[in-house]
Amino acid sequence: MRESVLSLSNVSLANFCTYHIGGKARSLKIVYDSAALVDVLTEDSVVVGCGSKLLISDSGYDGTIVLVRFSGVKISENGVYAYAGTPLPALSRFCSKHSLGGLEWACGIPGSVGGAVKLNAGAFGMSMDSVVERVDVLQKGKVASLKANELDYSYRHSGIEGIVLGAQFKCQAVDAEQLELRCKSYVKLRRESQPRGFSCGSIFKNSDKPAGWYIEQAGLKGLKCGGAIISKEHANFIINLGDASSRDVYTLIRTAKAEVKSKFDVTLNEEVIYLGDF
């Protein structure tokens, strides 16, 4: 039987994020059973799901990274319950297979349920706040069940404190074939509108206009720094061409912020989350 926690030390975090960049963590705990979480948490621990919203410092993290890998989806009253480590595409596929509508927009997002619920991930006009009914969290060593109206959701933000253990989603009965078609069309739209390559999705939050519009109008599409580039296809994506450092990506972020501020007097706010020292 698999251990409930795998402990590693001095391990490269580039293997655990979609940017494929980042230095080492002093300690890494891969947690397969939520009951084991309390034993691995330390003062300096940071929880990570799929690492798809992170830019991890080249110097890594001098503390404990807790990787959430407890996963699974089950049908429950009014919808489904998913454990925090479940990848969103798996959640979406499960729902389609069981003729449960409401989460098909999430099928192409490479994050975990825990990260998505915490960040209020969204796409195509939908977001977690419209489907989440209840979130179970570990707060100060105790499990709490938070109802939707206690989550303080806004655009790409929640007020959730602690570690998300799992969430209850409300769904509607929809024909499985129709859901499958919706998922396929969302994946196609994504392929057509988003660049390929290592990234964390959108770097900045949108404001009155899409952040990418400002960056494009500032003439920054295609700007390179070391091994990183502001995508020519979608200016709100910065791509690691293969050998970028975090510093390269960070420099492009700073440049985009400064140029947009000076040209439009608009402050772009990061959606990307920094981990470690910058």
Residues of this chain that bind ligand FAD (CB under 6 A): 18, 46-54, 68, 84, 109-112, 114-116, 118-119, 121-123, 163-164, 199-201, 273
Shortest Cβ distance from residue 66 to ligand FAD (Å)? 9
- In the complex with ligand FAD, which residue's Cβ is closer, 12 or 99? 12
> Are 252 and 225 contacting, i.e. CB atoms less than 8 angstroms apart?
yes
> Is 134 annotated as catalytic?
no
- In the complex with ligand FAD, which residue's Cβ is closer, 70 or 214? 70
β 172-173/100-101 pair status:
antiparallel
Shortest Cβ distance from residue 262 to ligand FAD (Å)? 28
Shortest Cβ distance from residue 37 to ligand FAD (Å)? 9
Catalytic residue among 57, 104, 231, 271: 271
> Is 202 annotated as catalytic?
yes
Shortest Cβ distance from residue 111 to ligand FAD (Å)? 2
Paired residues of 238 in beta bridges: 230
Tell me the three-class secondary structure of the chain, residue by residue.
CCCCEEEEEEEEHHHHCCCCCCCEEEEEEEECCHHHHHHHCCCCCEEECCCCCEEECCCCEEEEEEEECCCCEEEECCEEEEECCCEHHHHHHHHHHCCEECCHHHCCCCCEHHHHHHHCCEECCEEHHHCEEEEEEEECCEEEEEEHHHCCCECCECCCCCEEEEEEEECEECCHHHHHHHHHHHHHHHHHHCCCCECCCCCECCCCCCHHHHHHHCCCCCCEECCEEECCCCCCCEEECCCCCHHHHHHHHHHHHHHHHHHHCCCCCECCEEECCC
Paired residues of 146 in beta bridges: 135
Shortest Cβ distance from residue 108 to ligand FAD (Å)? 7
- In the complex with ligand FAD, which residue's Cβ is closer, 259 or 268? 268
- In the complex with ligand FAD, which residue's Cβ is closer, 23 or 51? 51
Catalytic residue among 92, 199, 202, 246: 202
Catalytic residue among 156, 180, 190, 216: 156
> Is 271 annotated as catalytic?
yes
- In the complex with ligand FAD, which residue's Cβ is closer, 112 or 259? 112
- In the complex with ligand FAD, which residue's Cβ is closer, 54 or 252? 54
Shortest Cβ distance from residue 214 to ligand FAD (Å)? 19
CA distance 72 to 218: 44
Q: Which residues are catalytic?
A: 156, 202, 271
